[in-house]
Structure 1
Amino acid sequence: MTTITGTDGRDALRTGADGDRIEAGAGGDYIFNRHAGTVLEGGAGDDQYRLYDPDATVVETADGGHDTIWAWRSLTLPEHVEDAVFKGVRFWHSVEGNGLDNRISAGDGRQALAGRGGDDTLTGGGGRDTFHVEPGEGHDRITDFTPGTDILALWLPGFESAAAILDAAEDTGAGTLLRFGEAQSVLLEGVATADLTAADFGLGPSPLDLLDGRVPTFADEFDDAGTLAGGPWQSAPPNGHPVTAGLARGAREHTYLSAETGSHSPFSVEDGILSITARRTPEDLQDEVATDWVSGSLVTHGTFSQLYGYFEVRARIPEGQGFWPAFWLTRDDFHWPPEIDILEALGDQSTRYRAAVHSEIWGTKVTAAEQWIVPDTAADFHDYGVLWTPSELVFSFDGREMFRVPTPPDMHEPMALTLNLAVGGWTGGPGAGTPDAGAFEIDHVRVYDIPGIEEMPRSEDLGPYADLETGRLTTGAQKEIDLYGPAVRRVSVEGTPGLALAAGEDATLVGDGAANLLAGNALGTTFNGGAGDDTLRGEGGNDMLIGGDGDDRIEGGPGVDRMVGGAGDDTYVLRTGDGANAGGVDLVWERAGEGTDTLFLADARPEDVRSHVDWARWHVSIDTGTGTERVMLKATPGIGGHDVGTHVERVVFADGTVWDMTGGLFLFDDDGAHTSSGSVHADTILGAGGDDTLIGMDGDDLIEGGAGIDVLYGWNGDDILRETGSEGGNRLHGEAGADTLEAGDGGDHLDGGAGDDVLRGGAGNDTLVGGTGRDRVQAGPGADSLDGGAGADRLLGQDGGDTLDGGPGHDMLAGADGADRLSGGVGSDALWGGAGADTLDGGPGRDRLTGGAGDDVFAFRLGEMDGDRIADLEAEDRIEVAIASGQGPVSVVREGDALVFLDADGDVAARLLTEAGLPEDVTLIPL
């Protein structure tokens, strides 16, 4: 960081690096900023700032002259800066003034201009501009308002209709003057009142006007604090194991917590308002949560979804950089895209509202989006809605239409609701001024069906998303890609069904409706087969191969290729040498249900392949004998497991072996450290080297960890979890179902979870926890710790000195060789020590204790003895009874085959039965 100092004359000063500071001094200076995180201080004089990089703090004082900022990105004028000249011409931007009499001018492009306080002069320039006016903003002048093109957005009480606005209009020699009281007006220079219509004020028919006959299908007014318990909202992701879902959902700067996290729950309901609160991670969660922030997300997947209709939320957003609230729709079956963003806002831009529609064309996410300046969304509640029909989507803000866009082809399936408060966003994460917590407040969520809406025609207009003829795709609100480039060869032009590039020729190849053969070269080419059964051959370079409709054969060839089959039964061919660039990964992108598709590994056998499935991707590594080649295929993280088989249905190998991807998956990982999860079917998931996390999901799965320190989860189904490594430190979690868990040769931790499980220890010192259910827990040769958990369990020791704890339920515990410690826990238990000097403690309940060979200790607590029985009692065995404070003094008398414990009053406090005589002595241990 450098401080650059000017003189008292007219200086031209430029930043040289991120974080620089300019102190220009007196004089009318030119200050050029091309770096981020800078501080620009103009000083006295009429200064001009050119913000090529907008990440700058401009410092001016009240007596610092008449200053101007030139900007190319959205801008809010800092204090004491009078004028703005906006130079950007592409995409949407906003320019907002301050409390001074600002002069704001823009050029071609779509801008939103707001003068804010003071008497401002606004010039929109060419293009469709919106001029924004709120109460108390003075007497403004718009120099170039064009009726039928520009919009004057008036957010003034009493002027919500065109009739009310035009009643306030007056034709003057300078143009139309709109008076909103003595202190506020807008002059439209050169415009006659007769030229103005409701559309010029953004007040065409409201989407709500189209809802006659609407039928409520979903309404949550959040009047009940129990709305999150058993209702339609789910705070834990229904389409993924908590581990994998947490990895994906917390990929920015936050981790989502569920409503079951007690005092740390991000959700609360009070006075009819649902709050989703993002906060800095509490200290007692920092060992469990790897992110600096925790927050919440609510979804209705599996509980409510709807095709078409009107969807609305009334909400207030949190204020602060990094807060990113949203209300959005995604398909109920989790296939993505499409997506409808009804509300998406940033806490540091609370006067800007954004809505978007995301779709997919040629394997690429495309987006139609708009932004507006609106009344402060952090200061008050506002209504955000979308009317979704087969033909179009109409977005509204406080009942006013804001954006209308054609419904894309992939948006004709039911969609579920999501409310979330993320941390991050496209302007960056939390900053130094971000509060430690912020709440996204929701007053209601309402959904309506509209009878007959499904009969409307489906739109065929892709204009806002792409130009298919030129290969241009709109990928974001301010992003566009050109897949074709300047040189395009077309079958329709050249009149031959086959096109081939010459060596060194750089052009895109485009087919027609027939069966085309398109061949590239070593440069890297874009292919589009169009309709018909096409053959596309990349030959070399990094290619983009689009099959289009029809049964296509796609051969990427050497290089890192992106292959998109489209509709039809497509075949993707990979050979040795394809994708050979170091670190490169070929991508096969098939939408679900677009035919029966095949991945043909022309030179590989099943044993050459290693693969794993993580969030929405199937990763395949192929051992070629001279190296490793990789390909990645699309998957969908559906409810209960990943869906690979509706994207690519089968894999065919050189030896004729066929893998059916619509059933159980066979995933055998490489030596890297990966997270891999299965499908809803019976999968085989094998780790190798590396510290892996393997999740079975639904189905009866076989999961093996291999070398490395692994974490295995069975989740649903009757799974087999097996650790075959020797490192120790592995963790196996059976979770739901009747699972079998087997430890490796190191010291591992096994947890059966719910269900009647079988746990087996290995050679190391293992910890085995049965969990709920009737479990069988078997120690290995090491000194193991066994915990049956709830249920009637069987715990079996082995050669080491094991610790067995039955837990609640009627358990059977059996030691073996070694000095074991057996604790029955709550319930009527049977304990057998086996060989060795064992300690047996039945715990509460009527227990039967058998010491077996060795010098054993039978341990009791006076308050827990309920007719316990000792089956054997050898000469060197001991009975120890713990006496809690307040229970003594206690005396012991013999009564037949029983030991009777008397309290200080001589009353019977407990009775212990023996089947093999009475001991010489009983040790009483005060606690």
Structure 2
Amino acid sequence: MNGNAGNDVIEGENGSDTIDGGPGADMMYGGNDGDTYFVDNIGDSIVEFADGGGIDHVFSSVDYAIGTAHIENVTLTGDALDVFGNDLDNLLVGNFQNNFMDGGLGSDTMRGGAGHDIYFIRTPGDTVEEDANSGTDTVRTLLSHTLQANFENLELLGNENGRATGNNLNNRLEGNGARNFLEGMNGDDTLFGSNGNDTLDGGVGADLMNGGPGSDNFYVDNAGDRVAESRSWGGTDTVFASVDFRMGRSHIEDLRLTGNAVLGAGNGLQNEIRGNNGDNVLDGGKNNDTMMGGNGNDTYLVRAPGDEVIEAAGRGIDAVKAFRAYILADNVENLFLQTLRNDAGQGVTGINGIGNELDNTVVGNPFDNVIIGREGRDTLKGQGGADTFVFDRALGSSNVDRIIDFNVNTPNEGDMLKMKGAVFGGLTAGSLSSAHFRAGTVAQDGNDRFIFDQGTGRLWFDADGSGAGTQQLVATFEQNAVVTATDFEIF
């Protein structure tokens, strides 16, 4: 049935009718059974009733909203852009334009065409379909949703917590103002968390993840992954990285290494960095950071005075590389003092190192260091500079240190031994009297307190100076060390 150029009223009969009102604002009544309508004017109206039976189909060359009519299917033609379904289970089909399709409240099927289409999903039963290479297509929804094949973008709307999952393409996923879980899957994805405390996981590929305001969690599994956070957004953001990760300038506070990641580096904020079961290198950066290595032989780079290193007992052989004076934390074995330079490029002195109750290795830098082993059988090495080795703990077989490169081959290179008077009794504070030092193997008279055996490199202390009592071994020196009375100071 065809109308003319006027505003026609066309009534179908029983049976499957085809009605085309033609130009003008037409009123079309299909009657019973499944009817087909052609709409070409925004003023066209269609009347179908629920008891009419059949599946009714509209072909529209203008934007079309089914409204209350009992129509199931709409296909856009010509230059039509938008189509809106109703409460039924609609089939909406786009054209070659950039279409917007909203199925309404039923369980709808929406199929786009060659353009850049936008789909609004309202119910869990909605299905959207796209062919490959047919534009850049977007799903908008109030629900959690997984992108079907050939869709690029997904936007969560509303204020409910939701999950957005991508596909094998390079997806763009956007959250809403609630708590979202955005998962990119394959492809090089871009994820935006928006407001709320979100979790962003780009999946396989080199992904860009932007958390937005709130305390967000990011999962990084590719060296090309990037995390973006702004200082103005607030919250405490955490990265879980299964690959080496440097925070850089991103406004991220915390980092957790997982999987096979080795390196975790902080930024200018106060970071908390946790290692995994591997041999990690943890670098807090410029601010006062907390670093926890976990299992493995971990290395910590300490740059700020307030950096804190936390290690549990029995979890590997751990080391600190300190750019500041540093006292080894509990359960950390080794300390290596690094070179700190001022703005003029000159090395800074006063980078001193102190051990703990373990058997430590403490190594200085090329400048003047104070090195204190404390308890344990420590290995102490000054490197360059005039270094001072301090002994301030009770003597015993479990507290004999090994000193490397002390005044090697030449006396008076500047290295010193500083002894605590309360430990080495009977000595006056200040420079050691030459009468209290003997080169040899045992004390010879009542004044001999320190005995240095050049042949073995062993330094002994004799409390009575006569050799009658047992001499106690203080330290062992290596590399042809030359030790004289002038190298000692009592405090």
Q: Same fold (TM over 0.5)?
A: yes
- Match runs of 1:555-634 below 5 Å: 556=118, 562=122, 569-570=129-130, 586-587=141-142, 590=145, 596-600=148-152, 634=163
- In structure 1, the residue matched to 2:37 is none
Select 1:917's aligned residue among 474, 483, 488.
483
The alpha-carbon deviation at position 866 of structure 1 amounts to: 3.1
- In structure 1, the residue matched to 2:402 is 868
- In structure 2, the residue matched to 1:900 is 460
- In structure 1, the residue matched to 2:410 is none
The alpha-carbon deviation at position 742 of structure 1 amounts to: 2.0
- In structure 1, the residue matched to 2:89 is 528
Quick check: 1:697–1:714 contact (8 Å CA) kept in 2? yes
**What letter is aligned with 2:418?**
I
Q: Deviations over 1:834-861 (max 9, x none)?
A: 4355444365234133164366453553
Select 2:199's aligned residue among 669, 676, 680.
676
Quick check: 2:150–2:169 contact (8 Å CA) kept in 1? yes
**What letter is aligned with 1:718?**
V
1:752 aligns with 2:275: yes
- In structure 2, the residue matched to 1:650 is 169
Q: Which whole-Å CA distance do the structure 2 matches of 1:912 and 1:684 have between them? A: 56
Q: Deviations over 1:742-769 (max 9, x none)?
A: 2223443433343122233434344444
Quick check: 2:390–2:417 contact (8 Å CA) kept in 1? yes
Q: Deviations over 1:409-442 (max 9, x none)?
A: xxxxxxxxxxxxxxxxxxxxxxxxxxxxxxxxxx
The alpha-carbon deviation at position 568 of structure 1 amounts to: 7.8
1:773 aligns with 2:296: yes
Select 1:820's aligned residue among 351, 372, 377.
351
Quick check: 1:761–1:784 contact (8 Å CA) kept in 2? no
Q: Deviations over 1:267-300 (max 9, x none)?
A: xxxxxxxxxxxxxxxxxxxxxxxxxxxxxxxxxx
Quick check: 2:420–2:490 contact (8 Å CA) kept in 1? yes
- Match runs of 1:207-218 below 5 Å: none
Unmatched tracts of structure 1, length 5 or more = 1-486, 580-584, 602-617, 622-628, 636-643, 654-659
Secondary structure of the structure 2 residue equivalent to 1:762: coil
Q: Which whole-Å CA distance do the structure 1 matches of 2:417 and 2:107 have between them? A: 81
- In structure 1, the residue matched to 2:219 is 696
Q: Which whole-Å CA distance do the structure 2 matches of 1:861 and 1:701 have between them? A: 51
- In structure 2, the residue matched to 1:879 is 418
Quick check: 2:56–2:71 contact (8 Å CA) kept in 1? no
Quick check: 2:171–2:189 contact (8 Å CA) kept in 1? no
Secondary structure of the structure 2 residue equivalent to 1:894: strand
- In structure 2, the residue matched to 1:712 is 238
TM-score by length of 1: 0.33
Q: Which whole-Å CA distance do the structure 1 matches of 2:391 and 2:51 have between them? A: 89
Quick check: 1:814–1:834 contact (8 Å CA) kept in 2? no
The alpha-carbon deviation at position 632 of structure 1 amounts to: 9.5
- In structure 1, the residue matched to 2:68 is 507
Quick check: 2:189–2:202 contact (8 Å CA) kept in 1? no
The alpha-carbon deviation at position 832 of structure 1 amounts to: 1.7
Q: Which whole-Å CA distance do the structure 1 matches of 2:204 and 2:171 have between them? A: 20
Q: Deviations over 1:421-473 (max 9, x none)?
A: xxxxxxxxxxxxxxxxxxxxxxxxxxxxxxxxxxxxxxxxxxxxxxxxxxxxx
The alpha-carbon deviation at position 507 of structure 1 amounts to: 2.2
Quick check: 2:49–2:70 contact (8 Å CA) kept in 1? yes
Secondary structure of the structure 2 residue equivalent to 1:861: coil
Equivalenced residue count is 374
Q: Deviations over 1:212-254 (max 9, x none)?
A: xxxxxxxxxxxxxxxxxxxxxxxxxxxxxxxxxxxxxxxxxxx
The alpha-carbon deviation at position 736 of structure 1 amounts to: 4.8
Q: Which whole-Å CA distance do the structure 2 matches of 1:527 and 1:872 have between them? A: 90
- Match runs of 1:527-546 below 5 Å: 528-529=89-90, 534-535=93-94, 543-544=104-105, 546=107
Summarize the Cα distance change of 1:662–1:504 in structure 2 as closer, same or farther, 3 Å threshold.
Answer: closer
Output the aligned Cα RMSD.
Answer: 5.3
**What letter is aligned with 1:845?**
R
Q: Which whole-Å CA distance do the structure 2 matches of 1:620 and 1:495 have between them? A: 32
The alpha-carbon deviation at position 669 of structure 1 amounts to: 4.0
- Match runs of 1:117-156 below 5 Å: none
Q: Which whole-Å CA distance do the structure 2 matches of 1:824 and 1:491 have between them? A: 90
Summarize the Cα distance change of 1:687–1:562 in structure 2 as closer, same or farther, 3 Å threshold.
Answer: same
TM-score by length of 2: 0.56
Summarize the Cα distance change of 1:793–1:900 in structure 2 as closer, same or farther, 3 Å threshold.
Answer: same
Q: Which whole-Å CA distance do the structure 1 matches of 2:426 and 2:259 have between them? A: 47
- In structure 1, the residue matched to 2:42 is none
- In structure 2, the residue matched to 1:831 is 363
Summarize the Cα distance change of 1:858–1:542 in structure 2 as closer, same or farther, 3 Å threshold.
Answer: farther
Secondary structure of the structure 2 residue equivalent to 1:493: coil
The alpha-carbon deviation at position 788 of structure 1 amounts to: 8.0
Between 563-572 and 827-836, the greater mean CA deviation after superposition: 563-572
Quick check: 2:277–2:294 contact (8 Å CA) kept in 1? yes
Larger radius of gyration: 2
- Match runs of 1:410-425 below 5 Å: none
- In structure 1, the residue matched to 2:22 is none
The alpha-carbon deviation at position 683 of structure 1 amounts to: 5.9
Quick check: 1:730–1:749 contact (8 Å CA) kept in 2? yes
The alpha-carbon deviation at position 489 of structure 1 amounts to: 6.7
Select 1:853's aligned residue among 385, 388, 399.
385
Summarize the Cα distance change of 1:867–1:847 in structure 2 as closer, same or farther, 3 Å threshold.
Answer: same
Secondary structure of the structure 1 residue equivalent to 2:255: strand
Quick check: 1:752–1:759 contact (8 Å CA) kept in 2? yes
1:796 aligns with 2:321: yes
Q: Which whole-Å CA distance do the structure 1 matches of 2:392 and 2:294 have between them? A: 25
Unmatched tracts of structure 2, length 5 or more = 1-47, 173-182, 341-347, 408-412, 428-448
Summarize the Cα distance change of 1:894–1:756 in structure 2 as closer, same or farther, 3 Å threshold.
Answer: same
Q: Which whole-Å CA distance do the structure 2 matches of 1:564 and 1:661 have between them? A: 20
The alpha-carbon deviation at position 869 of structure 1 amounts to: 1.6
Secondary structure of the structure 2 residue equivalent to 1:796: strand
The alpha-carbon deviation at position 890 of structure 1 amounts to: 8.4
Secondary structure of the structure 2 residue equivalent to 1:755: coil
Which has a greater percent of strand?
1
Quick check: 1:678–1:685 contact (8 Å CA) kept in 2? no
Q: Deviations over 1:675-722 (max 9, x none)?
A: 32326646645447645433327677845454336433325x334141
Summarize the Cα distance change of 1:805–1:597 in structure 2 as closer, same or farther, 3 Å threshold.
Answer: same
Summarize the Cα distance change of 1:742–1:674 in structure 2 as closer, same or farther, 3 Å threshold.
Answer: same
Secondary structure of the structure 1 residue equivalent to 2:406: coil
**What letter is aligned with 2:169?**
R
Q: Which whole-Å CA distance do the structure 1 matches of 2:273 and 2:82 have between them? A: 55
Secondary structure of the structure 1 residue equivalent to 2:54: helix
The alpha-carbon deviation at position 778 of structure 1 amounts to: 3.2
Secondary structure of the structure 2 residue equivalent to 1:778: strand
Summarize the Cα distance change of 1:756–1:567 in structure 2 as closer, same or farther, 3 Å threshold.
Answer: same
1:496 aligns with 2:21: no
Q: Which whole-Å CA distance do the structure 1 matches of 2:379 and 2:310 have between them? A: 16
- Match runs of 1:290-369 below 5 Å: none
Summarize the Cα distance change of 1:797–1:620 in structure 2 as closer, same or farther, 3 Å threshold.
Answer: farther
Q: Which whole-Å CA distance do the structure 2 matches of 1:765 and 1:813 have between them? A: 19
**What letter is aligned with 1:720?**
F
Quick check: 1:556–1:574 contact (8 Å CA) kept in 2? no
Q: Which whole-Å CA distance do the structure 2 matches of 1:634 and 1:899 have between them? A: 69
The alpha-carbon deviation at position 872 of structure 1 amounts to: 3.0
Quick check: 1:795–1:806 contact (8 Å CA) kept in 2? no
Summarize the Cα distance change of 1:517–1:570 in structure 2 as closer, same or farther, 3 Å threshold.
Answer: same
Quick check: 1:491–1:497 contact (8 Å CA) kept in 2? no
Q: Deviations over 1:144-186 (max 9, x none)?
A: xxxxxxxxxxxxxxxxxxxxxxxxxxxxxxxxxxxxxxxxxxx
Secondary structure of the structure 2 residue equivalent to 1:663: coil
Quick check: 2:209–2:218 contact (8 Å CA) kept in 1? no
Q: Deviations over 1:787-833 (max 9, x none)?
A: 484434453334xx342637646635133234334344434524224
